[in-house]
Amino acid sequence: MARTGQRQDLCPLQFCGGNAVPVRDAPASGAFPIFHSRFHAPRHAQHAHGFTLLEMLAVILLIGIAAAAVSISVTQGLASARVRAASSELAGALRATRTQAIVRGQEQNFDVDTHANSYRDAKLRDVRLPKGLRVNITSAKEDQPNDHTGRIRFFPDGSSTGGRITLKSGKREWHVNVSWLTGEVRVVDAVAAR
């Protein structure tokens, strides 16, 4: 630091590209250094563009289409799962009826009511199918007590009169097949089998 009364040579600085450089032609005086700036005033920033109403409507429309597609696939998946579960329960009830015929040593009946969308299991309980499912039965003519009831009979040796019970929900369709010779019960996805 300079002592009081002594003149200090001050060199004015000029900013050049971010670096301070001395200005040679500036007059030396005891005043503060003079700074010259070569920085230009910032150019006006370009105006930011927002979304137009048409662009926003297009985005909302695309979101709506995507949401509709997802909801349709979820609904179809739930319907398919519901038919699959109902057909599995129906097949289980048929197998239980066959087992009862073997264990008791006497004929057992499995009745399907197409109007009520229900069936009667081995414990003689009426089981209604979930809403939205339709049931059809193909069985021997003598095993159709009326126009909306079909019957599959199981015998003590495990065989049966055979038949097919079909569950439908929209385009989904499942067949529960009962073999007449062995009484075997099989569930078949009709769409996958095509």
Residue percentage of the chain with pLDDT more than 90: 42
Q: Is the pLDDT of residue 6 over 90?
A: no
Q: How far apart are alpha carbons 174 and 176 in whole angstroms? A: 7
> What is the CATH number that goes with domain 75-193?
3.55.40.10
CA 20 to each of CA 25, 30, 31, 34, 110: distance values in angstroms, whole numbers, following the listed order: 15, 20, 18, 12, 101
Q: Is the pLDDT of residue 89 over 80?
A: yes
Domain ranges of the chain: 75-193
Q: Is the pLDDT of residue 107 over 90?
A: yes
In 3D, which of 117, 112, 109 has the Cα closest to residue 83?
117
Give the type of residue at 87.
S
CA 39 to each of CA 50, 58, 162: distance values in angstroms, whole numbers, following the listed order: 31, 45, 96
pLDDT, mean over the chain = 79
Least confident of 38-47, 80-89, 120-129: 38-47
Q: What is the pLDDT of residue 194?
A: 57
Q: How far apart are alpha carbons 41 and 39 in whole angstroms? A: 7
- Give 89-92 contacts, CB < 8 A, sequence gap 24+: 89/127, 90/119, 90/165, 90/167, 90/176, 91/176, 91/185, 91/186, 91/187
Q: Which residue has the higher pLDDT, 120 or 20?
A: 120
| Global pTM value | 0.61
Q: How far apart are alpha carbons 191 and 86 in whole angstroms? A: 16
Q: What is the pLDDT of residue 32?
A: 52
Q: What is the pLDDT of residue 2?
A: 46
Q: How far apart are alpha carbons 159 and 86 in whole angstroms? A: 24
φ, ψ for residue 36 (rounded to 5)? -110, 135
Q: Is the pLDDT of residue 153 over 50?
A: yes
Q: What is the pLDDT of residue 1?
A: 47
| DSSP class per residue in 146-175 | BTTEEEEEE-TTS-B--EEEEEEETTEEEE
Q: Using 50, 70 and 90 to split pLDDT, how confident is the model at 50?
A: confident
Q: Helix, strand or coil for residue 183?
A: coil
